[in-house]
Amino acid sequence: MKHPKIQTLENITTSGRPPIEERVTLIDALDKVLEKGAVLDGEIAIRVADVDLVFIGLKLLITSISRAEVLRRGEDSSGGAVSKEDEEYIKGLEREIERAEGNIPRIIEASDPKKAEKGIAQLVLTLVKLIKDLMYREAKRRMGKGNLSEVEIQKLGLTFKALDKKIEEIRAIFGLEDEELNLDLGPLGNLM
Amino acid sequence: MKIMKGPYLYGICPSVKIHPPKFYVVKLRRVKKLLDKNIGEGIGGGKVFRIPYKDIEAVVSEVYLKEFGSKEIQKRAAEDLEWIKEKALMHEKVIETAMNNSDGLIIPMKFGAIFKGRESLISSLKKDYLRFKNLFKNLNGKAEYSVKIYLKSKPLENEIRKSSPIIQRKLEEIKSLPAGRQYFLEEEVNEMAKKEARNSINNYIPLFLEKLKGFTEELKENKILGKELTQRNDPMVFNGAFLVKKEKVDRFQKEIQKLRAEYEKIGFTFESSGPWPPYNFV
């Protein structure tokens, strides 16, 4: 039987990121030790804060929620009634932005130039894709309201298609995986 | 001034049966002391040793109560990521080595169990003695294995696009439309495939678990870990711990290999690790 190898702290700090297998075991080990295991009466426990927070220490590079808030405030002060449809639309935008945020903190690793380059490409592409997705949603909304002519639809559709292709191309150049730009939460996320 | 020390508890093992030659019985104590010598220092720098009670033993090392019971340490444990990582890994390492010294049988404690003194530990052992005995009975000859499943959604979506008659029909319908409008409808189809893929996960996971069930005694489902923790791009869709009998480990692992062979091409990744001390089953 093979025993899981546990990476010691020294190894982690001196050799950069441990290989995948060991990283996996490290997370597993911490997760088990901090969350699971027997508990007895009468012991003094070292209480670790919320385990998830301990691991993550997540820093968001962009706090664009404020942008969505400005948007909402703008609609409020305009005096016009916000329709239910509009409200949902704005909520949708907010969700989209939050999804993008999730991708960003992991992206840029300044210690390694190669990784940093890839990270910046990923960041830029993620944002381009976000903007494209937002435009797409707006276009669809207008289509739904019947505000767009057949010519306009044709133009928009082709523009989006070209953008998609360009994003794909740059993605391939920098060796980024599709998931790395994926703005939805994958199988676990809520549907828009 | 008296410096107060107390035992930090890693886990509880059944007494190890040592069979010294009959006329050496006197030395049994020394043999026991040497039992965990390969562990070396525990948390806080003290030597790891065992405190016996009836036919069970507590694996401990001494720590300064002042140091580990204080407010500062609580604060540190709550905030200092490196400190927790270092100590928690030490905790796990001691447990794992002690487990190997005890025929693979241990009840692992959660991180940070400290007692005011030997007496308070013994009284805890006394109180929970039957519970421990039952656990040993249940855990004997078994070990914990972790299984985590990840899913890349694109391959599964493509699979669904190919196999769904509704989607195929839609794609056929929009073929003749102008390219611009076609784009919007294609995107709708993509959304459909995405939604379908999401729904189908709920069918795949139980199917996998059903296949593994025959080789495992118990399953404990744990919460899904986020991308920040897994450092993977594909999201985790299942996280669980299995209790596996030693004689079934091979077949269990073969079954995971089989799952890999069959489902990796539609985007699933299976990660398993072990044997672990049975953290999830105590």
- Annotate chain B with DSSP letters as a single string: -PPPEEEEEEEEEEPPP----GGGGGGHHHHHHHHTTTT-B-GGGPBEEEEEETTEEEEEEEEEHHHHHSHHHHHHHHH-HHHHHHHHHHHHHHHHHHHHHTTT--EEBPTTEE-SSHHHHHHHHHHTHHHHHHHHHHHTTEEEEEEEEEE-HHHHHHHHHHH-HHHHHHHHHHTTS-HHHHHHHHHHHHHHHHHHHHHHHHHHHHHHHHHHHTT-SEEEE-PPPPHHHH--SSPEEEEEEEEEEGGGHHHHHHHHHHHHHHHGGGTEEEEEEEEE--GGG-
CA distance A12 to A7: 7
CA distance B156 to B193: 9
Percent of chain A with pLDDT over 70: 52
Question: CB distance B198–A28 less than 8 Å?
Answer: no
Residue A39 has pLDDT above 70, yes or no: yes
State how far residue A73 is from chain B, nearest Cα, in angstroms: 31
CA distance B259 to A27: 23
CA distance B95 to A3: 13
CA distance B122 to B52: 8
Q: For residue B265, what pLDDT is reported?
A: 92
Question: Which residues are paired to B60 by β-bridges?
Answer: B9, B49
What was the ipTM of the complex prediction? 0.77
Quote the distance between the C-alpha of residue A107 and its chain's center: 10
- Residue B227's nearest CA partner among A91, A188, A34 is A188
Instruction: Identify all chain B residues contacting A156, using CB atoms and an 8 Å cutoff.
Output: 180
Q: For residue A34, what pLDDT is reported?
A: 83
Give the residue from B110, B116, B181, B201 with the most A CB atoms within 10 Å of its CB, the best one to mutate: B110
Residue A4 has pLDDT above 50, yes or no: no
The answer to whether B9 and A43 are in contact (CB under 8 A) is yes
Neighbours of A168 (CB within 10 A): 13
A43, A102, A154 ranked by CB distance to B114: nearest: A43
Residue A123 has pLDDT above 60, yes or no: yes
As separate numbers, helices (DSSP H) first and strands (DSSP E) second, chain A gives 7, 1
Q: For residue A114, what pLDDT is reported?
A: 75
pLDDT along chain B (282 residues), means of 10: 83 80 56 69 90 93 85 78 83 92 92 91 95 95 94 89 89 87 90 89 93 95 82 88 96 96 94 92 94
Q: For residue A18, what pLDDT is reported?
A: 42
Question: CB distance B112–A143 less than 8 Å?
Answer: no
Q: For residue B208, what pLDDT is reported?
A: 97
Split at pLDDT 50, 70, 90, the class of A58 is very low
Residue A85 has pLDDT above 80, yes or no: no
Q: For residue B219, what pLDDT is reported?
A: 97
A3, A33, A155 ranked by CB distance to B180: nearest: A155
Neighbours of B65 (CB within 10 A): 18
Instruction: Identify all chain B residues contacting A32, using CB atoms and an 8 Å cutoff.
Output: 92, 108, 276, 279-280
